[in-house]
């Protein structure tokens, strides 16, 4: 329960018109400071001051991404619950809120255009990498087999990238969260999720090593072609395992050990694949059981073998 003085502080922070508009915007999605400025039609110093006051009241969280700074609603707390109650009481037809909604849609349109350009710039690189391993339809079929038929209450996709795993499981998961450290890739994922009509999917800027999500919050956790980029993949497996709830399932997709140094030199791969023994050791140490592996050999000898590992948390 909030004390009376704390309640007053929270309401005072949320009660100023511009700050209330900011909270309404962030309730829809995380936004960069410059995007909020664009929607509110206010200067950056003014918006930054409002955001600072909201952060001090525990209503929003600040996180940097390169030269940009992003904000999102704070994690579940009594202050956040109180703010949500205030937002729920707002009239959605209010002129200021309706204008903000129109401007936010314009920001989203700009993002979608940037996402299309990003795909175009990187298409040749992706095709080069894809040509080295198994066709995507085979990999995705194996992922669906590994996950099981569902339905899943909550899906968590760590290192969501373009959001493909979220759209793949779209009709099998009642809700989904995709985390990625790259805001550019999150914009790509947002475009795909919106195009797929997935209203129950949330995309967040987040660190795979410290997701800040609750223990056991997911029925299905997926880590798709992420671990080979990481300096400490075992720590990422531990975090993914922590999120896997009782009776839930963790699916990891990555490469078997290989010798293609060009992926390290040209595409920033830190690890050149993972052995079955290594992955089983990590998953078992994290408290998961029934570790299973399906391997998908490449179409040509010099290609990469894709591995799909599955592990389960014991029912409560």
Residue appearing with tokens 């039609």: 41
Q: Supply the pLDDT for residue 279.
A: 95
Tell me the C-alpha to C-alpha distance, in Å, between residue 245 and each of 53, 145, 156, 175, 176. 35, 19, 11, 15, 14
- CA–CA separation, 249 vs 261, rounded Å? 32
Q: Supply the pLDDT for residue 137.
A: 87
| Domains of the chain, first to last | 4-106 (1.10.10.10), 131-312 (3.40.50.150)
Question: Would you say residue 154 has pLDDT above 90?
Answer: yes
Within 10 A of 204 (CB to CB), how many other CB atoms are there? Answer: 18
- CA–CA separation, 26 vs 38, rounded Å? 14
Give the SS3 label for residue 256. Answer: coil
Q: Supply the pLDDT for residue 129.
A: 60
- CA–CA separation, 1 vs 307, rounded Å? 48
Q: Supply the pLDDT for residue 271.
A: 86
Task: Give tens-digit pLDDT for 172-224.
Answer: 999 999 999 888 888 888 888 989 999 889 999 889 999 999 999 999 999 99
Q: Supply the pLDDT for residue 313.
A: 96
Q: Supply the pLDDT for residue 65.
A: 54
Q: Supply the pLDDT for residue 115.
A: 59
The reply to whether the predicted model has a pTM over 0.85 is no
Task: Give tens-digit pLDDT for 113-150.
Answer: 765 665 556 645 655 565 567 788 899 999 999 999 98
Tell me the C-alpha to C-alpha distance, in Å, between residue 91 and each of 20, 34, 59, 79. 12, 26, 21, 21
Q: Supply the pLDDT for residue 102.
A: 94
Q: Is the dihedral of CA 149, 151, 156, 161 positive or negative?
A: positive
Give the DSSP per-residue string, 246-307.
EEEEEEEEEEPS---HHHHHHH--SS----HHHHHHHHHHTT-EEEEEEEE--SSTTS--EE
């Amino acid at each position: 329960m909030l004390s009376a003085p704390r309640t007053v502080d929270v309401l005072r922070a949320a009660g100023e018109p511009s700050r209330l508009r900011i909270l309404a915007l962030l309730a829809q999605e995380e936004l960069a400071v410059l995007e909020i400025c664009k929607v509110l039609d206010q200067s950056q110093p003014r918006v930054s001051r409002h955001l600072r006051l909201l952060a001090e009241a525990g209503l929003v969280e600040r996180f940097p991404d390169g030269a940009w700074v992003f904000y999102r609603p704070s994690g579940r707390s009594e202050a956040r619950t109180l703010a949500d109650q205030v937002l729920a009481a707002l009239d959605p037809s209010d002129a200021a809120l309706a204008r903000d909604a129109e401007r936010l849609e314009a920001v989203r349109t700009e993002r979608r255009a940037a996402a299309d350009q990003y795909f175009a710039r990187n298409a040749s690189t992706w095709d080069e990498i894809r040509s080295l391993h198994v066709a995507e339809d085979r990999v995705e079929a194996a992922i669906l087999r590994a996950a099981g038929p569902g339905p899943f209450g909550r899906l968590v996709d760590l290192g969501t990238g373009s959001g493909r795993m979220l759209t793949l499981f779209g009709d099998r998961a009642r809700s989904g969260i995709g985390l990625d450290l790259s805001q550019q890739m999150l914009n790509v994922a947002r475009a795909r999720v919106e195009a797929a009509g997935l209203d129950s999917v949330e995309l967040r800027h987040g660190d795979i090593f410290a997701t800040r999500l609750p223990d056991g919050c997911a029925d299905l956790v997926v880590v798709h072609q992420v671990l080979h980029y990481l300096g400490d993949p075992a720590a990422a497996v531990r975090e993914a395992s922590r999120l896997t709830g009782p009776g839930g399932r963790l699916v990891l997709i990555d490469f078997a050990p290989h010798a293609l140094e060009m992926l390290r030199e040209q595409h920033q791969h830190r690890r050149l694949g993972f052995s079955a023994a290594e992955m089983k050791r990590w998953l078992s140490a994290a408290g998961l059981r029934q570790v299973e592996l399906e391997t998908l050999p490449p179409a040509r000898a010099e290609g990469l073998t894709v591995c799909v590992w599955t592990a389960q948390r014991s029912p409560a």
